[in-house]
């Protein structure tokens, strides 16, 4: 067992783990948001497939649907912001 006095817990900070470049264009922000949402979708999908039939998976399926709809809305906004 380790001595708590020798290894005190790290001090909590109020800093974010990331920062947003305020010079980023709206289009670039949407592209990044779409990629982040796609990562959420993929992670939830992998978990749901691996845990099929387990209690609580239905709530994750709902979360996956919400992520898909969020991505679709962001993609729609991006298409309107950047015409073909």
Give me the average pLDDT of each 10-residue run along the chain (84 residues).
67 75 91 94 92 89 93 93 76
pLDDT of residue 43: 94
Q: Which residue range is the domain that position 56 belongs to?
A: 26-81
77 falls within a domain = yes
> Is residue 75, in this structure, part of any structural domain at all?
yes
**What is the structure's pLDDT at 2?**
57
CA distance 65 to 58: 11
CB burial readout 2-30, b (16+ within 10 A) else e: eeeeeeeeeeeeeeeeeeeeeeeeeeeeb
pLDDT at 5: 66
Residue 3 lies in a domain: no
Q: How many helices (H) and strands (E) does the chain have?
A: 2, 0
pTM above 0.85, yes or no: no
Number of structural domains in the chain = 1
pLDDT at 74: 94
d(CA 75, CA 84): 13
> Is residue 16 in a domain?
no
* pLDDT for residue 83: 73
């Amino acid at each position: 067992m380790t001595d708590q006095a020798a290894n005190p817990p790290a001090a909590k900070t109020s800093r974010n783990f990331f920062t947003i470049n305020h010079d980023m264009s709206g289009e670039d922000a949407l592209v990044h948001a779409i990629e982040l949402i796609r990562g959420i979708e993929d992670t939830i999908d992998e978990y749901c497939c691996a845990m099929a039939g387990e209690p609580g998976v239905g709530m994750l399926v709902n979360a996956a649907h919400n992520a898909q709809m969020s991505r679709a809305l962001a993609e729609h906004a991006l298409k309107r912001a950047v015409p073909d």
